[in-house]
C-alpha cells in the first residue's frame, strides 16, 4: 500500500522511519513511512536516518482495513511528532487504508493537511 501511494506522489521514500528512539522513560515510535516530495525519486532503506529540518514532509500511516480511530490517531499524532522533533517546513499526514468510512473520514480531513487515501482493490493484499 505504501509503495503504491509513493508511486503516485514521488519523492524520497523512507519506510519504517524512527520518529522516537527508545528511552528509559518511553518506547520507540516508528512511522510506516515518510516521503520527502521535493526530493529526487528514491526508495531509501528501512530505518534510514535523514534530516527533516526545513523539509516538506508527508507522513504515511497505513492499515489494510477500513479507516478507523486507531489509524486516525496514528495519523494525527505522527504528524505532531514530526513537527515537534524535526522542525520541518511543512507536514502533510496521510491515512492510507483499504476501505473508506463516511463518518470517520470527514472527522480527520476537517484538520488542515490531513488526508485519507483509499487504495484501489488491486493494490490491497488479503489480510
The domain in which residue 53 lies consists of: 2-19+28-122
Report the CATH number that the domain containing residue 40 is assigned in CATH.
3.40.1350
Q: Is 26:55 a contact under the CB 8 Å cutoff? A: no
Model confidence pLDDT, tens digit, residues 19-76: 999 999 999 999 999 999 989 999 998 878 899 999 999 999 999 999 999 999 999 9
Residues 6+ positions from 29 with CB-CB distance below 8 Å: 18, 19, 20, 78, 81
pLDDT score for 126: 60
Whether residue 127 lies inside any domain: the answer is no
Whether residue 82 lies inside any domain: the answer is yes
Amino acid at each position: 500500500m505504501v509503495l503504491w501511494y509513493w508511486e503516485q506522489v514521488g519523492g524520497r521514500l523512507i519506510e519504517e522511519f524512527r520518529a522516537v528512539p527508545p528511552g528509559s522513560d518511553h518506547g520507540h515510535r516508528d512511522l510506516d513511512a515518510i516521503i520527502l516530495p521535493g526530493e529526487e525519486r528514491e526508495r531509501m532503506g528501512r530505518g534510514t536516518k535523514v534530516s527533516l529540518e526545513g523539509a516538506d514532509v508527508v507522513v504515511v500511516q497505513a492499515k489494510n482495513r477500513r479507516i478507523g480511530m486507531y489509524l486516525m490517531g496514528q495519523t494525527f499524532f505522527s504528524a505532531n511528532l514530526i513537527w515537534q522533533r524535526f522542525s520541518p517546513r511543512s507536514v502533510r499526514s496521510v491515512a492510507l487504508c483499504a476501505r473508506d468510512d463516511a463518518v470517520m473520514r470527514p472527522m480527520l480531513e476537517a484538520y488542515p493537511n490531513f488526508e485519507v487515501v483509499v487504495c484501489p482493490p488491486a493494490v490491497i493484499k488479503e489480510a
